[in-house]
Structure 1
């Protein structure tokens, strides 16, 4: 029996469209917008974790010295260069003394003159003392003669006046001696001050160390306090590390640390927290700490080299633990996507400390054994269908 042409055409269209519709439906349900979302899961388990802090810092010298003149002057000579090792007391640079040497020589002459003046004043005092003693003797002698009416009253008054004049001369001689002695002390003090100024023009190393910077050259005029030479003590290096304030809970002194220098790739150097700074960086919202090397690396790292610091905190009591990647923010709340009966729903949680392995403690919101989503191929909703996989490649499709 032969079908009409209209029916044959309809059957042919159905034969073609049904497979196409089936294929389209399969594609939509398996790889289209209605396809289940590929997810990787994890289970909350009770475990103790050792939280750690991670920070980045730079190598610095614990003790650095800026050496310069205490008065304004011009640099005469510089005897060292950057990188040189120096010993304590070694001359690093010298300032131009200008006229200090001549002023010291003038004061030397003034001191000798003052010493000569003292000798002359002492001789005057001795002469005045002899004259005073003689005048006193004559006064007493004439007083005795006046009692026997051997001399006149005028002669007695004359001798008394001579005694007073001799006393005044003696007092003046003593004053001249004191003035000469004070002049000598003043000149010696001025000379000592100039000598100290002259000595301060010689810039010496306060300790054994290495020259870190040379800030000027001979002939440069420096103001008081301006550093000509900067040096460091290479035996005392530490890392000035920065830690995010959100994760800096528990940071304290004497905690063990591991230091990874950029110049020592793949190697960690043990250290410890020497000091936690009282002042934090309000701009970057970071806490600052100084981490000291337990053993200095060889060769010594350059000052300013970048370093990564890991500080291990004491182990915490066992609590439910999940991967940190599972925690997400939905509608401003932190929580996880929990799987129950093959479906997902969002559960708010309160998290605690975390470690550098990517695990975080759950204070409440989950029970041990709950299955949660760690990663998903696309954003999840309460109506999302899921497909559990352990292959990260499926999440990237």
Structure 2
């Protein structure tokens, strides 16, 4: 066999390999670029769409109080515990009052002594008044007799001096009574003070509510400001939610809301916006929105985390589509639909939107079918063949 023939065979074999390789590559390219893409179909339907603003916060009581003593003392009794409901003026805590009872008894005795002293001073005034009346009568008689020269000047002078002494006795008695009355007032004020301190040993509930925490036990020594327990009012429990300041213009009082607690994310509870904060956090650019919790789960706790969804707009019977079906191309919003087994790009106009769905104002009608690739790695293009699955 000649060398030329061998070379021709080698060249032919290599040419065959190149053609085969080109065919394989071409087939792969065709398959990747032009073969039908499996897609999922999503029928367009009508329905309700609700636009919401979300905020995250904690469950709080609008009214709460720290139960603490006005005076220092040792806890003698604790009559309420965590989780219990109480009524206004219920006795919550009692401090040891033995010493204060003794002080009240002493102050009460001082008041009685002051009153007895005043009674004695009043009697002294009566005696001084009687002495003055007698001295006045005697002096008047001597003055008449002196005109008739029936008494001497010395006798008249002595009666005049006795009258002056009797008048001074009255003034002295009146001054003593006034001083005694002042002492009585001081004693009564002291008694009121000790009685008030004795009453301060009994700590009462300032309003109806629930004890959410108990921080002290029997025998503990407490001082003013010491937290013995925390009381909240159940009249209004709300979620203080932090909302981005960009949503501020959409919000207003009385708007309905949904409250979802982290402890049970599958359940939503009704709420209502009560008030809007008027100060924004300078770092997070968020502000507080207080949402009244009209419903609460069976088990709840103050400080519990919750997400609030505030309804800011609502439309019924609109063309609605899942939000993740919307595609952006070159700054335009649209979807892919099927026409003759091919993907066709259709621009749409969007109205209201929420976390899951959007309102389609123009571009789609109920009954249209929007498609998305079944495999995330596939990319739809206008005119690409598709096959529904």
Q: TM-score, normalised by structure 2?
A: 0.77
Question: Over the residues paired in the alignment, what is the CA RMSD in angstroms?
Answer: 4.4
Q: Secondary structure at the match of 2:206?
A: coil
- The question of whether the paired residues in 1 share the 8 Å contact of 2:351 and 2:358 is answered with no
Q: How big is each residue's C-alpha offset from its partner over 1:142-177, in whole Å with a ceiling of 9 and x where there is no partner?
A: 222222232233332322222221111111101111
- Displacement after TM superposition at 1:54 (Å): 1.9
- The question of whether the paired residues in 2 share the 8 Å contact of 1:323 and 1:374 is answered with no
Alignment of 1:233-252 (within 5 A): 233-252=233-252
Equivalent in the alignment of 2:82: 82
Q: Aligned partners of 1:214 and 1:292: how far apart in 2?
A: 26
Equivalent in the alignment of 2:294: 294
Equivalent in the alignment of 2:112: 112
Q: How big is each residue's C-alpha offset from its partner over 1:252-303, in whole Å with a ceiling of 9 and x where there is no partner?
A: 1101112233455533322211222223333433222222233455x35233
Deviates further, 20-29 or 69-78:
20-29
Alignment of 1:1-397 (within 5 A): 4-25=5-26, 27=28, 31=32, 50-97=50-97, 99-264=99-264, 266-297=266-297, 299-315=298-314, 335-336=331-332, 354-359=353-358
Structure with the larger strand share: 2
Q: Aligned partners of 2:386 and 2:69: how far apart in 1?
A: 70
Query: CA separation of 1:385/1:312 partners in 2, compared to 1, >3 Å: closer, same or farther?
Result: closer
Query: CA separation of 1:338/1:208 partners in 2, compared to 1, >3 Å: closer, same or farther?
Result: closer
Query: CA separation of 1:31/1:173 partners in 2, compared to 1, >3 Å: closer, same or farther?
Result: same
Q: How many residues get paired? A: 373
- The question of whether the paired residues in 2 share the 8 Å contact of 1:83 and 1:211 is answered with yes
Q: TM-score, normalised by structure 1?
A: 0.76
Query: CA separation of 1:374/1:158 partners in 2, compared to 1, >3 Å: closer, same or farther?
Result: farther
| Structure 1: gaps (5+ residues) | none
Q: Aligned partners of 1:8 and 1:170: how far apart in 2?
A: 158
Query: CA separation of 1:191/1:157 partners in 2, compared to 1, >3 Å: closer, same or farther?
Result: same
Q: Aligned partners of 2:352 and 2:139: how far apart in 1?
A: 106
- Displacement after TM superposition at 1:352 (Å): 8.6
Query: CA separation of 1:86/1:226 partners in 2, compared to 1, >3 Å: closer, same or farther?
Result: same
Q: Aligned partners of 2:73 and 2:388: how far apart in 1?
A: 70
Q: Aligned partners of 2:73 and 2:386: how far apart in 1?
A: 75
Q: Aligned partners of 1:274 and 1:231: how far apart in 2?
A: 22
Q: How big is each residue's C-alpha offset from its partner over 1:190-230, in whole Å with a ceiling of 9 and x where there is no partner?
A: 11111111111111223333321111112322221222121
Query: CA separation of 1:131/1:30 partners in 2, compared to 1, >3 Å: closer, same or farther?
Result: farther
Q: Aligned partners of 1:391 and 1:105: how far apart in 2?
A: 99
- Displacement after TM superposition at 1:48 (Å): 10
Q: Aligned partners of 2:138 and 2:114: how far apart in 1?
A: 36
Q: Aligned partners of 2:174 and 2:198: how far apart in 1?
A: 36
- Displacement after TM superposition at 1:126 (Å): 0.6
Q: Aligned partners of 2:372 and 2:139: how far apart in 1?
A: 122
- The question of whether the paired residues in 2 share the 8 Å contact of 1:75 and 1:95 is answered with yes
